[in-house]
Amino acid sequence: MSSPVPAPASAITPDPATDGKRIFKIALTGGPCGGKTTLLPQARALLQGLGYTVLTINEVVTELYGNGLHRSHRVPNRLFVYTVMHQQFFKEQLYLHAAREMAGTGPVAILCDRGLPDGRAYFEDWPQWERWAEELGCSFEQIRRSYAGAVHLVTAAQGAEEHYNLANEARFESTEQARIQDRRVFEQWQGHPRLAVIENGDDGFEGKLNRALAAVERIAKEALA
């Protein structure tokens, strides 16, 4: 499999030289059942209230499952990860293009329910993933740095086990598998200068969301500073 349309890293990266400090991306990431999808509309409302125009990119994996494309013996993981990667890449490319058209009236935030680096956590052959990225004109580090920041919501399977569930049809992990996957996802973002890790605490799920929203606001302000 080779990538269909090579594109430079700039295709998904806001450029300070041309975009100024008007456009930025934030990835909402983490392990299964961490609260990302619940956080997304709340984060959008928060930033809109602060005067940002906000675009959101829903989780590609959930979208593919909803459209009938599942990991299975008919769709091996290699093909599934490849499909997720390219759909996410081109979505971000199109949204960045739209953001540039919209940025004349104020800053634009692009909120992603999972970022491109997450996909590498679900694939054992990291060198192959990186070759696909190179065919798209990017290195892994360029992809990761295209996001102004990432908010990692720790899976409920770690510290809030009673709330872990398989309500999302794309979620299949046991609690132990979810904890392992959470760590693998974290490793993709480890080293990013604006990585916020939101753990499960005594303040419950609402408290967790409030801490995540505070992190989103902080990243947004730092991105435009």
pLDDT of residue 2: 46
pLDDT of residue 49: 97
Residue type present at position 190:
Q
Question: CA–CA separation, 135 vs 23, rounded Å?
Answer: 25
Residue by residue, pLDDT tens for the chain (225 residues) are: 544 444 555 667 776 656 667 899 999 999 888 899 999 999 999 999 999 999 999 999 889 888 888 776 677 888 989 999 999 999 999 999 999 988 888 899 999 999 999 999 988 888 999 999 999 999 999 999 999 999 999 999 888 878 887 676 656 777 888 899 999 999 999 999 999 999 999 999 999 999 999 999 999 999 988
Encode pLDDT of 118-128 as tens digits. Answer: 999 988 888 99
**Taking the model in full, what pTM does it have?**
0.89
In the chain, DSSP assigns E strands to 23-30, 53-57, 108-113, 149-153, 195-198
β-bridge partners, 55: 110
Provide the 8-state DSSP code for 70: -
The separation between CA 95 and the C-alpha centre of its own chain, rounded to angstroms, equals 14
Q: Classify 35 in phi/psi space as left (phi over 0), alpha (psi -120 to 50) or beta.
A: left
What structural domains does the chain harbor?
23-223 (3.40.50.300)
pLDDT of residue 30: 95
Single out the residue of 17, 6, 40, 19 nearest to residue 97, CA to CA.
Answer: 19
